[in-house]
Amino acid sequence: MRIRASLAAATVSGAVALTALVAPAAQAADSPQVPKAFLSKPATPSTGRMTPADETDGDVTITKVTDNSNKDVVVGTGQKTFNIYVTASDPSGIYTADAILWHGTDIDNDVDGVLASENEATCDNWSATSATCKITITATPGTDLYDSALNGKWNVAVYAVANDGDYIEKDVYKNRWVKRAASFSGFNASPEPVAKGKTITVAGTLNRASWTYLKYYGYGSQSVELQFKPATGSTYSTVKTIKSSSTGYLKTTVTASVDGTWRFHYAGNSTSSVADAYDAVDVR
């Protein structure tokens, strides 16, 4: 697969450039610092011939690509494993397929992150001409995701080769967002129980994973919705929106009316996942 071969050089040059740009800010939180292991890690070639970018030879076609169930790839401080399914067809049948995620603007000259499988795809030949191949990828913070600056939009590159040697390759078949996991800590609605008409204090801290330091840190200046679902209801309604402090802390008050569950809801953004925290309160 030409994609992987070109990434061997492109990733190194892109990562080196990234390191040079941020070297003066090495002491800043989540500043890009590329480990030597990443720079020396060779690309793993897969089955197929070496071809120019976005080239097709013959009549093989890729008809569908489903990556992580078409959902954001959310990664905390531990490994995240997900699948990419590539469906392709050719009159001679499909031999294999491959897919990777890469971060950058140009697969040949500007790549600073790669998520790829260490194993060959497993293919289900569901007809004489078509197959769906599964590629399993494990993203590891601190290694593949060596820096938090890699959060955001990634590119999905795909490749398929037919039994007769026909092939197709797309460097950017689609995009996928790889996000840092967000969560709440210390969430509490109190007092419990509470008399009707009295004040309830709702507090907690919004945190976000750092791939650089493999820890969660308070996520500041983020809008969070305080929502409520009555015990007799099935849906949450937004009561107010508040903003987290520089350390991610949130605190607000409401008036107790009926039994129900209070929730902090963070909608996420282009680099961070959705997060929720719940606490039921008995009103007497």
Band the pLDDT of 156: cuts 50, 70, 90: very high
- Report pTM: 0.82
Question: Helices H, strands E: what count in the chain?
Answer: 2, 18
The CATH 2.60.40.730 portion of the chain extends over 182-281
Q: Is the per-residue pLDDT at 179 higher than 60?
A: yes
More confident call, 24 vs 93:
93
- Residue 234: pLDDT band with limits 50, 70, 90: very high
Question: E strands of 4-79, at which residues?
Answer: 56-57, 61-67, 73-75
Q: Is the pLDDT of residue 3 over 70?
A: no
**pLDDT at residue 6 is higher than 50:** no
Residue 157 confidence class, pLDDT cut points 50, 70, 90: very high
Residue with tokens 């000259």: 109
Half-sphere CA count of 223, side-chain side, radius 13 A: 5
pLDDT value for 82:
98
Q: What percent of the chain has pLDDT over 90?
A: 79
Could you say which DSSP state residue 93 is in?
-
Residue 7: pLDDT band (50, 70, 90) is low
Rounded CA-CA distance 99/84 in Å is 7
Mean pLDDT, the chain, whole residue set: 86
pLDDT digits (tens, 9 = 90+) for 102-119: 999 998 889 999 999 999
pLDDT in tens, 17-74: 333 333 333 333 453 333 333 233 333 333 333 334 578 899 999 999 999 999 999 9
The answer to whether 5 and 50 are in contact (CB under 8 A) is yes
- Strand 167-180 and strand 73-75: the pairing is parallel
The pLDDT of residue 54:
79
**Which one has a higher pLDDT value, 7 or 167?**
167
Three-state secondary structure string covering 108-140: CCEEEEEECCCCCCEEECCCCCEEEEEEEEEEC
- Per-residue pLDDT tens for 245-282? 999 999 999 999 999 999 999 999 999 999 999 999 99
**% of residues, the chain, pLDDT over 70:** 81
Q: Residue 172 corresponds to which tokens in the numbers above?
A: 């950017």
SS3 call for 16: helix
Q: With a cut of 90, say whether residue 235 has pLDDT above it.
A: yes
Of 15-24, 79-88, 153-162, least confident by mean pLDDT is 15-24
User: What's the confidence (pLDDT) of residue 4?
Assistant: 54
Q: What dotted CATH number matches 182-281?
A: 2.60.40.730
Q: Is 239 exposed, middle or buried (0-12, 13-18, 19+ CB in 10 A)?
A: middle
**What pLDDT does residue 55 have?**
84
Phi-psi region of 66 (alpha: psi -120 to 50; beta: other; left: phi over 0): beta
127-147, pLDDT tens digit by residue?
999 999 999 999 999 999 999
Sorting pLDDT into bands at 50, 70 and 90, what band is 1?
Answer: low
